[in-house]
Amino acid sequence: MKRYSVFAIAREAMRHHTGWERAWASPLPKSSYDVIVVGAGGHGLATAYYLGKNHGITNVAVIEKGWLGGGNTGRNTTIIRSNYLQDSSAAIYEKARSLYEGLSQDLNYNVMFSPRGLLMLAQTHHEVRGYMRTVHANLLQGVETEWIGPEQVKRLVPIMNIDGPRYPVLGALLQKRGGTARHDAVAWGYARACSAMGMDIIQQCEVTGVRQQGGQVTGVETTKGFIGTKKLAIVVAGHSGQVAEMAGFRLPVEAVALQALVSEPIKPCIDVVVMANTVHGYMSQSDKGELVIGGGTDSFNNFTQRGSFHHIEETLRALIETFPIISRLKMLRQWGGIVDMTGDRSPILSKTPLGNCFINCGWGTGGFKAIPGSGWAMADLVAKGEPGPLAAEFGMDRFREGRFIDESVAAGVAH
Amino acid sequence: MLILECPYCGVKAEETELSPGHEAHLKRFGPGSSDEQFESYMFARKNPKGVHFERWRHTYGCGKWFLAARCTATLEVFGTYPAQTSEPPADIVAKIKARRPNWEGVK
Ligand SMILES: Cc1cc2nc3c(=O)[nH]c(=O)nc-3n(C[C@H](O)[C@H](O)[C@H](O)COP(=O)(O)OP(=O)(O)OC[C@H]3O[C@@H](n4cnc5c(N)ncnc54)[C@H](O)[C@@H]3O)c2cc1C
Ligand SMILES: [Zn+2]
């Protein structure tokens, strides 16, 4: 792999950009691997990357039914934060957020991480108490957040109407080191780094069956034939239930659609991310000037990657009260992704009833921010066969044992 | 836009009039059941990509719960039936089989 650098740009400028190589190879599958990761979204690719980087395991294939990053990783609104309440969530999300800070250097790929600051608005007294509690919890967890009053919110976001009338802004939870990153670049950067380590990323190849012998996984059936493996990591988000069924177990997961939309581009007007959870709307401005907007999930089981129109209407109705200037903006595009919602709305990183088969899913509406931390913890689990400290609480046994991670990490709000 | 006919009041309701209640025909386990049984009732879900039997409530109409057979991959509706039914009625099953010859049947 040729490194990207300012010198490379200068060199290529001299020769009409004829020397750039493909960022990753498109190999045919080998007959077997040490580890197969199913799903080339951010979580699958990060799992493969840290298997190589942290554990020296590089005889790895990442198998993807579509194109890499074409699932929720390429469809999300890219909010990154780690201001969670429970210790186990704060630990893994803060690990991810701190890895994001150095990710562009680590991958030699600009993921455009922008720690521009993130506000979670309190628009009811209940939220005021809730967020003050979160600030205290974060203090103990070593996650830097603070509580700010309405005047300070207005100073940070002058286009915001803080006076209601229905939901006046009473203050906000501010995480200064939260922000956004370029979603595609996260997938592409990990893919390029995996390919450079000699891993095979096999696109347009759907896993259609899981083969096992004596309770141990032996390989996967795919649209490109059988591929053997010693270990299997299932990292397929919305399709977790389908692949788990192939492996012979059922998950506490349901798939629903989550939508997002962007406006026509306008001049810079908001330089932080704002989330308004009471009214279910959130917004940030992309580098191109588009307002990136999301809201709640559509609540029925759905695999169509489309959502219902009335949810867009609800989201915009809610945001217009808080941001009156958007009322006459045209919306450019709308899309949906299929998110995997667990019974307690927290993710699953777990061993499974099938030997040497591991699963990472349930990130639902909020897993983009978790990609580096989740990949790190998943690589640990796959390499050692047992969860390390980051993944320990996220096993799927918790649903049987009643040990829920009771946090609306993915509570129907795309964050 | 999803439209379901309420089997009680006969109204063809569009989804803003309805609330989804997820998987139908769950086997309920209570006190005295094993951890596995209770987990299967509370959390484990079929979540199929295809034919799904599910609960809906006609919230902004008659207010009653009913059941529906629907395809989660295309949003096609095969039919609706009253909630006081312990398994999908034969006519709805026949209709699904006609529309989805490869369907594996009620599992
Ligand atoms: C509209 C929207 C907005 C969101 N906003 C945010 C946000 O602001 N912040 C945030 O943190 N999170 C957000 N999320 C959530 C976030 O996008 C996801 O949690 C995260 O991207 C999941 O990554 P993943 O790698 O697990 O899944 P994916 O990126 O979906 O990757 C899974 C891959 O598996 C592949 N696959 C599935 N089945 C098979 C098979 N049988 N064989 C081979 N491959 C298969 C799929 O094609 C897919 O590419 C949002 C999601 C959506 C939909
Ligand atoms: Zn009715």
For residue A342, the number of C-alpha atoms closer than 13 Å in the C-beta half-sphere is: 30
Which residues of chain A, if any, have pLDDT below 50? 409-415
Residue B90, pLDDT score: 96
Q: Is A269 exposed, middle or buried (0-12, 13-18, 19+ CB in 10 A)?
A: middle
CA distance A316 to A328: 11
Residue B34 pLDDT level (bands cut at 50, 70, 90): very high
Contacts of B30 (CB under 8 A, 6+ apart): none
Is residue A170 in contact with ligand 1, taking CB distance under 6 Å? no
Token digits of residue B76: 């096609």
Closest CA to A133 of A84, A88, A91: A84
Q: Which CATH superfamily includes the segment(s) A118-178+255-341?
A: D-Amino Acid Oxidase, subunit A, domain 2 (3.30.9.10)
Residue A279, pLDDT score: 82
Percent of chain A with pLDDT over 90: 91
Residue A295, pLDDT score: 84
Reported ipTM: the value is: 0.94
| Under 8 Å between Cβ of A274 and A154 | no
Residue A414, pLDDT score: 44
CA distance A147 to A130: 11
Q: How many Å lie between the centroid of ligand 1 and the Cα of residue A69?
A: 8
Residue B76, pLDDT score: 96
Give this prediction's pTM.
0.96
DSSP helix/strand/coil, A46: helix
SS3 per-residue string spanning A335-399 = EEEEEEEECCCCCEEEECCCECEEEEECCCCCCHHHHHHHHHHHHHHHHHCCCCCCCHHHCCCHH
Q: How many Å lie between the centroid of ligand 1 and the Cα of residue A241?
A: 14
Contact between chains at B45 and A308 (C-beta distance less than 8 A):
no
> What does the DSSP 8-state code read for residue B15?
G
Token digits of residue A246: 């192939």
Taking an 8 Å Cβ-Cβ cutoff, which residues of chain B contact chain A? 1-2, 15-16, 19-20, 22-23, 35-36, 38-40, 42-49, 52, 54, 72-75
Give me the architecture of the A21-82+85-107+183-252+344-401 domain, per CATH.
Answer: 3-Layer(bba) Sandwich (3.50)
| Under 8 Å between Cβ of A227 and A32 | yes
Structure confidence by residue, pLDDT tens digits, A331-380: 999 999 999 999 999 999 999 999 999 999 999 999 999 999 999 999 99
Listed in order, the ranges of chain A carrying CATH 3.30.9.10 are 118-178+255-341
**Residue numbers in B near A308 (CB within 8 A):** 1-2, 15
Listed in order, the ranges of chain A carrying CATH 3.50.50.60 are 21-82+85-107+183-252+344-401
Within chain B, where are the H helices? 35-42, 90-99
Residue A410, pLDDT score: 41
| Under 8 Å between Cβ of A229 and A59 | no
Q: Which CATH superfamily includes the segment(s) B17-26+46-107?
A: Folate-binding superfamily (3.30.2270.10)
